Amino acid sequence: MLSVIVPVIDEAGALPGLLADIAAQRRVALEVVLVDGGSRDASPDIARAAGARVIESRPGRGAQMNAGAAAALGDWLCFLHADSRLTHPAQLADALARLEACDDQRVAGHFRLRFVRARAGRGLFYRYLEAKTATGRRHTINGDQGLMLRRAFFDALGGFDTRLPFLEDQRMAAAIRARGCWCLLEHPLATSARRFEVEGAFARYLLMALIMAMHLAEVSLFFARAPRVYARQPETGRLRLMPYFRLLRTLARECGPRATGRVAWWVAGVAVSQSWQLFFALDVGLEQGLGVSRRPATRLHDRLLRPVFHNCVARGLVLVLGAGVVFGPLQLGCALAERARRDEARPE
């Protein structure tokens, strides 16, 4: 049996759609375990009315999903976010069949994404994000894409990391890659673009990059000083990035030049390792404009240009240029944008 585990806090608006999609699934025996982290809306009642089993947990997506796994009855586990939508009536059955056909028992599956938008515009941006979720490359798999795996493999991995109320998906993705393998599952998983639309697409993407950089460089002080760096969906609003720029400057002063230099060098290495994304973005644009679908720019990078970028000289250039851009025009642009928004909000 497959246990579908959904962590929620105040998701009454999104839940009915996902629960209806799950109820319409064919050729699969499943149960739905909704893990409530303290909702103040009707989320638990909506789930019970749809036939789901509801349990309570302390808030935090990782903790909630661990609680759901502990209560689940199935030999297979599937973790979905509340704002996800299944796009095919046999999506879960097909996913399960693909994973069962794998020789390796230590395999986990994820879906490619399709964003559901309430606003027009930024089509290329969303197409790039959607296409990237199908690559399976390092740092491209996250919780929005769903996670399906055997209970035994989940237990062997030790469950989700709960040190922070977020980033549990990135840590799980890294653990799966280190101890097993990933498999792209059939049919896209639809997900809401609401966070990008509410917070601002550019600001959200930039902050996501900063979160990943601080996570991979293991700068725990950043997350201790910025506990709301990833707010719960009902609490989101237009993002203000200047507090995070100021925090980076403060941490650099407090930690000193040697520690700051080590972190900056590590972050530059991460940036260099992701150089393929620039070429991949070019391919997505070519596919839209010219119908070129074989990703020639990405293949050029992987076959010929990777050694050019993956060396100490390139890493040093990225460090210097990146610091100059982040604390120069990027910070200035964010400051001017936030000042303009304050001026607009000021009463006449």
Distant-in-sequence, close-in-space partners of 285: CB < 8 Å, separation ≥ 6:
124
Confidence label for 32 from pLDDT (cuts 50, 70 and 90): very high
> What's the rounded mean pLDDT across residues 88-115?
96
Tell me the percentage of the chain whose pLDDT exceeds 70: 95
**Which tokens is 342 given?**
């304050």
Residue 238's pLDDT is 80
Contacts of 142 (CB under 8 A, 6+ apart): 169, 170, 173
pLDDT at 108: 98
Residue 212 φ then ψ, to 5° = -65, -40
CA angle 305, 307, 308 (to 5 degrees): 65
For the chain, the distance separating the N- and C-terminal CA atoms, rounded to the nearest angstrom, is 62
pLDDT above 70: residue 138: yes
- The CA distances from residue 240 to 97, 139, 177, 206, 333, in Å, are 44, 25, 34, 11, 12
Instruction: For residues 300-324, give the mean pLDDT.
Output: 90
pLDDT digits (tens, 9 = 90+) for 188-242: 999 999 889 988 898 899 989 989 989 988 888 898 888 677 766 666 778 888 8
Distance of alpha carbon 273 from alpha carbon 141, whole angstroms: 16
Q: How confident is the model at residue 326 (pLDDT cuts 50, 70, 90)?
A: confident
d(CA 145, CA 138): 14
Q: What percent of the chain stands above pLDDT 90?
A: 67
Is the pLDDT at 25 greater than 90? The verdict is yes
The values of phi and psi at residue 6, to 5°, are -125, 110
Tell me which residue of 339, 336, 321 sits closest to 272, measured CA to CA.
Answer: 321
pLDDT at 157 over 90: yes
Q: How far apart are CA 179 and CA 158, in angstroms?
A: 12
Residue 323: pLDDT above 80?
yes
Contact 17, 46 (CB under 8 A): no
Q: Among candidates 153, 213, 222, 220, which has minimal Cα distance to 182?
A: 153
* pLDDT confidence of residue 231: 66
- Computed over every residue of the chain, the mean pLDDT equals 91
d(CA 33, CA 24): 16
Q: What is the reported pLDDT for 224? A: 86
| Residue recorded with tokens 């709960």 | 162
pTM of the prediction? 0.91
Alpha-carbon gap, residue 120 to 62, rounded angstroms: 33
- Top-confidence range, 261-270, 291-300, 332-341: 261-270
Q: Which has the minimum average pLDDT: 14-23, 79-88, 227-236?
A: 227-236
Reply yes or no on domain 2-197 having CATH 1.10.286.10.
no
| Distance separating alpha carbons of residues 263 and 272, to the nearest angstrom | 14
Q: What is the model's pLDDT at position 348?
A: 57
- Contact (CB, 8 A) for 84 and 18: yes
Q: What is the mean pLDDT of residues 274-295?
A: 86
Residue predicted with more confidence, 261 or 345: 261
> Per-residue pLDDT averaged across 278-291, rounded?
86
The CATH 3.90.550.10 domain(s) of the chain lie at 2-197
What is the average per-residue pLDDT within 96-122?
94
